[in-house]
Amino acid sequence: KAGVTQTPRYLIKTRGQQVTLSCSPISGHRSVSWYQQTPGQGLQFLFEYFSETQRNKGNFPGRFSGRQFSNSRSEMNVSTLELGDSALYLCASTQNPSSYNEQFFGPGTRLTVL
Amino acid sequence: ILNVEQSPQSLHVQEGDSTNFTCSFPSSNFYALHWYRWETAKSPEALFVMTLNGDEKKKGRISATLNTKEGYSYLYIKGSQPEDSATYLCAFPMDSNYQLIWGAGTKLIIKP
């Protein structure tokens, strides 16, 4: 079974631009969560999608948005990029949302904002 | 605001020695406690999902215990090897909606 894939792996943007990141979950997994990781910080939850619906949202500004498609693939979008958005963005998938299901992570997208 | 704390922040251990570190979480409304290992240049990978007070889980040389009443979990590594070098993360679902709150991790470095 193929793992979680994320594209692109690396991205360099300038302030004010927007960016779209993509995540393809493991086949059969319908829940996709997005996280931001910056140096010295734990994983910060962005949002979670299940069956094309946003189930949970973390404490991030409205510049961060996402969506999920009928094939469970998910995208996240960041508009009007700021320097502080430079981070590793990870997505994780699981079969169904549950406190008891482990999450399977992709390799991440490293975003640098100049 | 729920908080998950891990200690120590980093740890240097001699190869062959055993070690352990801690994850503290709110003891009320417990659902589960997750442990993940994150090796450099790889993705975080699940080690254990623990659900019952007193639970003890084992995977090879790594084991974990859970105390839901006092709100902590220990991760133990017996006979540390260089391949154990990684950041170990714990996560706690904040409610039945499953959203995970993550600790900042314990970075383990094994010295040969």
Q: Among residues B22, B26, B29, B30, which one has the least CA distance to residue B1?
A: B26
- The model's confidence at residue B2, banded by pLDDT at 50, 70 and 90, is low
pLDDT score at B98: 77
Which H or E run includes A47? strand A44-50
A95: left (phi over 0), alpha (psi -120 to 50) or beta: alpha
* Closest approach of A10 to chain B, Cα-based (Å): 13
* Token digits of residue A41: 């910080």
Whether residue B98 and residue A97 make contact (CB cut-off 8 A), yes or no, is: yes
Q: pLDDT per residue over A50-72, tens digit each?
A: 999 999 899 999 999 999 999 99
How confident is the model at residue A108, as a pLDDT?
97
Q: Inter-chain contact B97–A97, Cβ cutoff 8 Å?
A: yes
Residue of higher predicted confidence among A41 and A5? A5
Q: Chain A within 8 Å of B90 (Cβ-Cβ)?
A: no
Residue B44 tokens, joined: 């975080």
Look-up of token digits 């979670």: A48
Measured in angstroms, the CA of A14 and the nearest CA of chain B are apart by 25
B5-34, pLDDT tens digit by residue? 999 999 999 999 999 999 999 888 888 999
CA B45 distance to own-chain centroid: 12
Provide mean pLDDT across the span B107-111: 96
Closest residue by Cα to residue A15 from A59, A89, A78, A64: A78
**What average pLDDT does this structure show over A96-109?**
90
pLDDT > 70: what percent of chain A? 99
Instruction: Please count the residues of chain B.
Output: 112
When CB atoms are compared, the residue of B45, B46, B93 closest to A99 is B93
Question: Mind telling me how many Å the CA of B105 is from chain A's nearest CA?
Answer: 7
Is the peptide bond preceding residue A8 cis, with omega within 30 degrees of 0? Answer: yes
